Structure 1
Amino acid sequence: MDTKGGRGETPPWDIPHLLQSLDLDVPALAVGIPGRTLESTGDQDDNCVLTAAHRKKLKYTVHLGDHSLQNKDGSEQETAVAQSIPHPCYNSSNEDHNRDLMLIRLCGRASLGPKVKPINLADHCPQVGQKCTISSWSSVTSPQEVKIIPQKQCEDAYPGQVTDSMVCANESSGTDTCQGDSRVSLVCGGVLQGITSWGSDLYGRPERSGVYTNICHYLDWIKTMGRKG
């Protein structure tokens, strides 16, 4: 499959860390709450999920092992959420996107296997020019290839809004997650480097990149919260 410059359907369950989350207040599959990233925190790596804090809801369930939003094969797992833990310094009352990160603890442990696997956290920050993959939900999981861009380039695109705790990615061909996509994770070299936070309606133009919470800045907090479950 060629993921450069466009979309293509992923081979079934080729992104086993991408989860689907559904609001309990509406019929299943009636809303497009973004997929979550099953994240490995050590001892609790089978019941912790990472997402953006701005996605916090009062109620939701999590579906694991989904490949398509429409077609099911009976092997999917469903679990309720025990606790949602936004970063304590995240401020949801304004347009400050800093610390846009939340850990979700599941009520039960995931049954890990070929279709459901945790993704490892990066132990270093992503490098400019590094090729990464962004995963999103449409009708099927659709990965796209992007590159990490210089921080200065991102700051110029979004004056006064980008901080060191954010990382930006885009592709010169115009590929990036777009408004309306249930977009979620930035994976570089097989490890989680970013969670989609914000960006412009002009996604897909090189000067307007996707902005991600830079996971390497929050490793201690993630691991501490993950071990408390």
Structure 2
Amino acid sequence: MTKHAETRLCVHLNPQWFSWSWHCACVGWRPIPLPRAAGRSRAQGSKILEGQECKPHSQPWQAGLFQGQRLICGGVLVGTNWVLTAAHCKKMKYTVRLGDHSLQSRNEGEQEMYVARSIQHPCYNNSNPEDHSHDLMLIRLRKQADLGPTVKPIDLAYHCTHQGQKCTISGWGTVTSPQENFPDTLNCANVEIFSQKKCEEAYPGKINDGMVCAGNSNGADTCQGDSGGPLVCGGVLQGITSWGSDPCGRPERPGVYTNLCRYHDWMKKTMGNRD
């Protein structure tokens, strides 16, 4: 069945679990409205706003998705042959680079990997670019990465984060907005988690429990090109860059990230079934 001929309905089962289980079923030709999120996805080029150059290779799980030499999205190494990114980053053909810091020069330990399969979350709505729900995708690499000081996977969050938790974001996205200016080196910024109430106030009617907001009073934010990159809290991967305000970097309108604790079971099952 082709994508345009089906609608996927997601039902949250087992609400007492820290990690949700999602059941998706094709329900024929009639569309069922899902939560919609106005705002710009962050795949079209990207840098961290109000950040600074990361210490080289301090984020060894950082990945980049490329078409030729063009960066299309960030990503995160979550297993020896698995990278996690945003579902809206999916392209017909692309490669994954690991161990990068500078995009213009060859980095020691840098690895370019070919993609065996791109697996979007089954409830992601490809037909509606304004619907950012379930915005995550697992990439299976054709071969295992060579792990070392510059290339290491990060653990996935099982428990959800909380308001005020300190986190780090990273990416090669634009460092200015609305004008775009892309850096050569990986940039990092410190942010903190917003309460779900504040997140919903910033984007009325657009937020669901599969999303989490983060930012700070200086306007530190991911922006265009940072999609799929990591939100790391307490040493674990808590989120991936999904969408946010346009222009980026508005303190009252934080970045929105896919809330990975809600998808732990799906990610583990998907990777476990294909290792």
The answer to whether the superposition gives a TM-score over 0.5 is yes
Alignment-derived partner of residue 106 in structure 1: 141
Q: State the 1:180 CA deviation.
A: 4.9
> Is the Cα–Cα contact under 8 Å of residues 136 and 183 in structure 1 kept in the other structure?
no
Q: Does 1:35 pair with 2:80?
A: no
Residue deviations 1:158-180, cap 9 Å, x none? 11111011000010111111235
Q: Distance in 1 between matches of 2:268 and 2:87?
A: 17
Equivalent residue number for residue 162 of structure 2: 127
Query: What's the counterpart of residue 207 of structure 2?
Result: 162
Q: 1:202 touches 1:208 (CA, 8 Å); kept in 2?
A: no
**What corresponds to 1:42 in structure 2?**
none
Distance 1:183 1:174 in 2: 20
Quick one: distance in 1 between partners of 2:141 and 2:236?
21
Match of 2:125 among 82, 91, 95: 91
Q: TM-score, normalised by structure 2?
A: 0.75
Aligned to 1:19: 63
- What does residue 58 of structure 1 align with? 92
Equivalent position amino acid for 1:8 in 2: Q
CA contact (8 A) 2:118 2:140 kept: yes
Contact 1:87 1:101 in 2 (8 A): yes
Following the alignment from structure 1 to structure 2, what is the Cα–Cα distance between the partners of residues 188 and 220? 19
1:155 maps to a residue whose letter is: E
> Could you say which structure has the greater relative contact order, defined with CA pairs below 8 angstroms and 6 or more residues apart?
2
CA distance in 1, matches of 2:116, 2:224: 29
- One-letter code aligned to 2:73: P
**Given that residues 226 and 241 in structure 2 are in contact (C-alpha distance below 8 angstroms), is that contact kept between their aligned partners in structure 1?**
no
Equivalent pairs counted in the alignment come to 215
- 2:57 and 2:136 mapped to 1: Cα distance? 25
Instruction: Give the superposition deviation at 1:6.
Output: 3.0
Unaligned segments of structure 1, at least 5 residues? 40-44
In structure 2, the partner of 1:7 is 51
Instruction: Report if aligned partners of 2:74, 2:225 keep a CA contact under 8 Å in 1.
Output: no
State the shift of 1:51 in Å: 0.4
**How far apart are 1:122 and its partner, in Å?**
1.1
In structure 2, what is the Cα distance between the partners aligned to 1:73 and 1:221? 34
Question: Following TM superposition, by how much is the alpha carbon of 1:205 offset from its aligned partner in structure 2, in angstroms?
Answer: 1.5
* Between 69-78 and 203-212, the greater mean CA deviation after superposition: 69-78
CA contact (8 A) 1:89 1:99 kept: yes
Considering only aligned residues, what root-mean-square deviation do their CA atoms show, in Å?
1.5
Q: Does 1:205 align with 2:250?
A: yes
The CA distance in 2 between the partners of 1:35 and 1:100, in whole Å, is 13
Give the Å deviation of 1:129: 0.5
What percentage of residue pairs aligned between the two structures are identical? Answer: 58
Matches for 1:187-206 after TM superposition, within 5 Å: 187-206=232-251
- Structure with higher Rg: it is 2
Q: TM-score, normalised by structure 1?
A: 0.89
Q: Deviations over 1:16-58 (max 9, x none)?
A: 10012212xxxx32x221121001xxxxx20011000011011
- CA displacement, residues 107-133 of structure 1 (integer Å, 9 cap, x when unaligned): 000000101000001121011010100
Q: Note the C-alpha offset of 1:77.
A: 1.0
Q: Secondary structure at the match of 1:35?
A: strand
Structure 2 unaligned segments of length 5 or more: list them.
1-48, 173-182
**How far 1:139 sits from its partner (Å)?**
1.3
Q: Secondary structure at the match of 2:201?
A: helix
Question: Does the C-alpha gap of structure 1 residues 20 and 140 become closer, same or farther in structure 2, counting only changes over 3 Å?
Answer: same
Q: 1:84 to 1:164 in 2, by over 3 A?
A: same
C-alpha distance in structure 1 between counterparts of 2:117 and 2:82, whole Å: 10
More displaced stretch, 70-79 vs 176-185 = 176-185
Q: In the alignment, which residue of structure 2 is the partner of 1:226?
A: 271
CA-CA distance at 1:203 after TM superposition = 2.3
Give, in whole Å, the separation in 2 of the partners of 1:21 and 1:51: 9
